[in-house]
Amino acid sequence: MTVNETEPLVLRDNQWLAQHIVRLTLNHPAKRNALSQAMLQGLQDAVEGVAPEDASVIIIRAAGPAFSAGHDLNEILQGTHDEAVAVFEACERAMHAIRQAPQIVVAEVEGWATAAGCQLVATCDVAVASSTARFATPGVRIGYFCVSPGVALSRNVGMKAAAAMLFTGEPQTAAQALAAGLVNQVVPPEELEAASLAMARSIARFSRHVLAHGKQHFYRQLAMGYDDAVRYASRVMVEQRAMPDAREGIAAFLAKRDPVWQP
């Protein structure tokens, strides 16, 4: 993708808005889409700027050969203590915006997703990767352990897989990331855009209200112990039956017709 470096750090593409899909592109290829404070603020603003009534799926992709090289290390090393705090607070807010968004967020990963870039992939709800993509949390190699990327990583893959990535810094191929559960699908590079759109379409055809409701409760129960999660889920299931789209969906299923979702 050819990119004008004077453009915003995060681009919004409304080409598939009629299908309730918005694409956001990290747009600083000269810096390998490093997650600087400005990039993170741009990402947060872009995610929060997608209205629930406009889209039920957001695709996050990147311009250039890398998805994201992680934080801008010059910004962290050369800044003051307060400036470093501001960078990581911006990262917290951007990742929180993705997790709290009513839309389902799909990562479309080409090239390297390193450190906080890997954290971004892990924070997205689902991920589609090119077979040439690579994933790494290599902070240990430069004496700056990937503590914050490890939070999202360890909630996506098994403990041993996360530990190996964090303690060795060794990169993982797309196939290894798929096997570990970091991504959902791996396709040839030339099929990546089509595959991420297909993933988005397979989600966007459902009720946006149900998707937002389901995402909220999916992540909420993950923070609970098993017994508490079961009790919580039972209460939510009872409450959910009163939702208009739940009643419409069940009625349509029983009548063997297509549901008509609320706008």
Q: 10-204 has which fold?
A: 2-enoyl-CoA Hydratase; Chain A, domain 1 (3.90.226)
Distance CA 245, CA 248 (A): 5
Q: Are strands 126-130 and 10-13 parallel, antiparallel or unpaired?
A: unpaired
| Domain locations in the chain as residue ranges | 10-204, 208-255
**Structural domain 208-255, CATH architecture:** Orthogonal Bundle (1.10)
Distance CA 106, CA 259 (A): 25
The low-confidence residues of the chain, meaning pLDDT below 50, are 1-4
Neighbours of 206 (CB within 10 A): 18
pTM: 0.94
**Three-state DSSP class for residue 35:** coil
- Show Cβ contacts of residue 86 under 8 Å, excluding neighbours closer than 6 positions: 37
pLDDT at 5: 53
The residue assigned the tokens 């695709």 is 59
Which amino acid appears at position 143 of this protein?
A: G
pLDDT at 2: 41
